[in-house]
Amino acid sequence: SLEELNANFNKLTKLPETIGFELINLKKLAVNSNKLIFLPRSITHLTSLRVLDARLNCLRALPEDLENLINLQILNVSQNFQYLQNLPYSIGLLISLLELDVSYNKITTLPDSMGCMKKLQKLSVEGNPLVSPPAEVFEKGLHAVKGYLSEKMNGGHKSPPKKKSWVGKLVKYGTFSGYTLGGTSNGEREGFFISEYRSIDGLASPRHIGMFSPRRLFSPGRYFTR
């Protein structure tokens, strides 16, 4: 019957693998300021969960199938610093999400699926070397960011056409069969950091924690609101 679990400020390196199958009525899970590397996959079975706070850990990745968290409203995975480099595509399928904080990680690209997040009202991305969406889009606010990602998802931002390779000809004439996995590269682009940093309230804020880099302590940030 547990609805709230607070395990902040410990030295946890992992959570029970079966947590999602057992705490079926959990509405808030707070595990910030630990040493978690991964969240168990079963966490996606917590369909009653409304708040997930996993900031200030060492998360390398987030579980797939996040779309199963149909009641999740607040997700905070900020300040995993150099460890968290990517967000799963399923993060854009969180239909009830209102607030998303992924600040102070090492994320370069936001998933196109985030263009579908109609209920999202607050997005925090400062402290990431973001390349996509570009800085000029973020300057226009959350609505512009979601519009950019939605257009990109629908093919609005197309890369220059590639030159045809000899492999295609072999496939055409039945000489070669198989699948070609390809991608485009826009080259290396300089990342950026959102300005006007606002500290996180509570015990996990910079004024209560000493083990932060100078860039985090003195960097500005921005919150995007509708």
Interval 17-30: pLDDT, tens: 999 999 999 999 99
CA 62 – CA 38 distance, rounded (Å): 7
Residue 223: pLDDT over 90:
no
Stretch 11-20: mean pLDDT, rounded?
97
3-state secondary structure 77-121: CCCCCCCCCCCCHHHHHCCCCCEEECCCCCCCECCHHHHHCCCCC
pLDDT of residue 81: 96
Token pair belonging to 210: 């000493």
CA 126 – CA 104 distance, rounded (Å): 6
pLDDT averaged over the chain? Answer: 80
Token pair belonging to 20: 């999602």
Min mean pLDDT across 16-20, 76-80, 151-155, 196-200 is at 196-200
pLDDT of residue 163: 44
Interval 155-200: pLDDT, tens: 865 444 444 444 444 344 443 333 222 333 343 333 444 434 344 4
Residue 117: pLDDT over 70:
yes
Min mean pLDDT across 15-24, 29-38, 87-96, 158-167 is at 158-167
Name the more confident of 202 and 23: 23
- Let me know if 97 is exposed, middle or buried by CB neighbors in 10 A (0-12, 13-18, 19+): buried
Token pair belonging to 112: 């196109």
Task: Spell out the domains of the chain, with CATH numbers in brackets.
Answer: 4-156 (3.80.10.10)
Could you give the count of Cα atoms lying within 13 Å of 61 in the half-sphere of its Cβ?
Answer: 9
User: Is 61 within 8 Å of 82 (Cβ atoms)?
Assistant: no
CA 133 – CA 123 distance, rounded (Å): 13
Token pair belonging to 103: 């600040």
User: Is 99 within 8 Å of 74 (Cβ atoms)?
Assistant: yes
CA-to-CA separations, 204 to 88, 102, 223, in angstroms, rounded:
25, 15, 18
Name the more confident of 40 and 205: 40
Look at residues 95, 96, 104, 48 and name the one whose alpha carbon lies nearest to residue 76.
104
pLDDT of residue 155: 83
Name the more confident of 166 and 107: 107
Look at residues 99, 101, 81 and name the one whose alpha carbon lies nearest to residue 215.
81
> How big, in percent rounded to 5, are the helix, strand and coil portions of the chain?
20, 10, 70
Type of residue found at 186: N
pLDDT of residue 205: 45
